[in-house]
Amino acid sequence: MAPTRAEPFNDSSALIDFVINQGNGVKGLSEMGLKALPRQYIQPLEERMCMINIKAQESIPIIDMSNPDDPEVVKLICEAASKWGFFQIINHDVPIEVLENVKDATYKFFGLPAEVKNKYSKEHSSSNNVRFGTSFTPQAEKALEWKDYLSLFYVSEEEASALWPLACREQVLDYMRKSEVVIKQLLKMLMKGLNVKEIDETKESLLMGSMRTNLNYYPKCPNPELTVGVGRHSDVSTLTILLQDEIGGLFVRENNGDNWIHVPPIKGSLVINVGDALQIMSNGKYKSVEHRVVANGYNNRISVPIFVNPRPSDMIGPLPELIKDGEKPIYKQVLYSDYVKHFFRKGHDGKKTIAFAEL
| Closest C-alpha to 82, from 273, 354, 350 | 273
Q: In which region does residue 23 sit, left (phi positive, over 0), alpha (psi from -120 to 50) or beta (all else)? A: left
* Amino acid letter, 286: Y
pLDDT at residue 57, rounded to an integer:
67
Q: Are 142 and 347 in contact (CB under 8 A)?
A: yes
Show Cβ contacts of residue 29 under 8 Å, excluding neighbours closer than 6 positions. 9, 18, 19, 38, 219
For 81-96, the pLDDT digits (tens) are 999 999 999 999 999 9
Backbone angles phi, psi at 183, to 5 degrees: -60, -45
Round the CA-based radius of gyration of the chain to a whole number and report it.
Answer: 20
Beta bridge partners of 150: 132, 215
The DSSP secondary-structure symbol of 256 reads T
The full set of domain ranges for the chain reads: 23-32+45-357
CATH topology of domain 23-32+45-357: Jelly Rolls (2.60.120)
Q: Would you say residue 331 has pLDDT above 80?
A: yes
Report CA-CA distances (Å) from 196 to 102, 151, 188, 204, 243: 34, 32, 9, 12, 28
What burial class does residue 178 get, using C-beta atoms within 10 Å of its C-beta: 0-12 exposed, 13-18 middle, 19+ buried?
middle
The C-alpha atoms of residue 48 and residue 225 are separated, in whole angstroms, by 7
pLDDT of residue 6: 46
Instruction: Evaluate whether 186 touches 274 at the Cβ level (below 8 Å).
Output: no
Any idea which of 223-232, 283-292, 307-316 has the lowest mean pLDDT? 223-232
C-alpha distance from residue 101 to each of 13, 90, 109, 129, 174 (Å): 37, 18, 12, 22, 9
pLDDT digits (tens, 9 = 90+) for 204-219: 999 999 999 999 999 9
pLDDT at 47: 67
Q: What is the mean pLDDT of the chain?
A: 89
Comparison of pLDDT for 118 and 47, the residue scoring more: 118
